Amino acid sequence: MSRKIIAAGNWKMNKTAKEAVEFVNALKERVADADSEVVVGVPFVCLPGVIEAAKGSNIKVAAQNMHWEEKGAFTGEVSGPMLADLGVDYVIIGHSERRQYFGETDETVNKKVHAAFKYGLKPIVCVGESLTQREQGVTAELVRYQVKIALLGLSAEQVKDVVIAYEPIWAIGTGKTATSEQAEEVCAIIRGCIKELYGSEVAEVIRIQYGGSVNAANASELFNMPDIDGGLVGGASLKLDDFEKIAKYNK
Ligand code: PGA
């Protein structure tokens, strides 16, 4: 299996531009020999400094959101060309916090995914069920629905470059990690859905991460599951020791 594990930090609304640069300067030496692809998802204002600090290292940089339009009267928003111009590699799209607090829907996620490709950014698309939905037994249907709509209209070649982050909402920031079996079950369902829609070649290549209370102690077990290709890491990505251990998980 040739999928490269992707260890992506999602800093959320944490760290000033100065703190971010200090962090990445320290991180780049620590992860220089990591086998995984290391990504830091930082606040917009941290992007220029972090991109500069990460130059020549193996750290890639992600934005945490983008608008789907190129430019215009959208106060407070940031567009794909603005991110691409800075040298951003990835963009996190449809995080559950964006869906919950900022009204993002599967349809806006789909528009943003198209915009990401248009401007040369690789999308990390987040999907996942709430605790109620899990208890109602609709996790598989819901996640398949979210994935289908997020990817609507993309070519098979584009889908190969998408990263999907399966993040059960009940596991985010709660310290309540999904068991590796629970996480694997849903990641395998997502891969099955990709296979139905785009064929086995695409399903074999697309990377599917798990997110939700990933930490230095549980990353290795999660990342070694057959259908889990790394993690989208919130809290633990803000700490150098922890994120280094996650990026250098035991194979
Ligand atoms: P957490 O956040 O690791 O703090 O649970 C994960 C995420 O929201 O991406």
The Cα–Cα gap between 164 and 34 comes to 21
Residue 231 has pLDDT above 70, yes or no: yes
Write the pLDDT tens digit of every residue in 13-44: 999 999 999 999 999 999 999 999 999 999 99
Give the CATH number of domain 6-247; options: 3.20.20.70, 3.40.50.2300, 3.10.20.30, 3.90.1580.10. Answer: 3.20.20.70
**Confidence at residue 177, expressed as pLDDT on a 0 to 100 scale:** 86
**232 touches ligand 1 (CB under 6 Å):** yes
User: Atom 6 of ligand 1 has which residue's CA nearest to it?
Assistant: 234
- Is residue 193 within 8 Å of 148, Cβ to Cβ? yes
What is the per-residue pLDDT for 175? 84
For the Cβ of 246 lying below 6 angstroms from any atom of ligand 1, the answer is no
Closest residue (by CA) to atom 1 of ligand 1? 234
| Sign of the dihedral defined by the CA atoms of residues 10, 15, 17, 22, in that order | negative
Q: Is the CB of 128 under 6 A from ligand 1?
A: no
Q: Which tokens hold the place of 123?
A: 């999308």
Instruction: Answer whether residue 1 shows pLDDT above 80.
Output: no
Q: Would you tell me how many other CB atoms lie within 10 Å of the CB of residue 69?
A: 13
The residue behind tokens 């798990």 is 210
What is the residue whose two structure tokens read 């945490």?
64
Report the separation in Å between the CA atom of 72 and the middle of ligand 1, taken as the mean of its atom positions.
32
Q: Which pLDDT band holds residue 131 (cuts at 50, 70, 90)?
A: very high
- What distance in angstroms lies between residue 75's CA and the mean position of ligand 1's atoms? 27
Cβ neighbours around 56 below 10 Å, total: 7
Q: Taking 70 as the threshold, does the pLDDT of residue 178 lie above it? A: yes
**Catalytic amino acids?**
95, 167
Q: Is the pLDDT of residue 156 over 70?
A: yes
Taking CA atoms, 251 is separated from 34, 92, 204, in Å, by 11, 26, 19
pLDDT at 107 over 80: yes
- pLDDT mean across residues, the chain: 97
In the structure encoding, which two tokens stand for residue 250, read together? 């035991």
Instruction: Tokens for 175, please give them.
Output: 């310290």
Contact 36, 248 (CB under 8 A): yes
Return the best residue to mutate from 213, 237, 245 for the ligand 1 pocket (most ligand atoms within 8 A of CB).
Answer: 213
Nearest residue to 62 via CA among 140, 134, 142, 7: 7
pLDDT at residue 134 tops 60: yes
For the chain, what percent of residues have pLDDT higher than 90? Answer: 96
Ligand 1 atom at minimum distance from 165 CA: 9
Protein residue whose Cα sits closest to atom 2 of ligand 1? 234
pLDDT in tens, 41-89: 999 999 999 999 999 999 999 999 999 999 999 999 999 999 999 999 9
d(CA 166, CA 6): 13
pLDDT category, 176, cuts 50, 70, 90?
A: confident
Domain definitions of the chain by residue range: 6-247
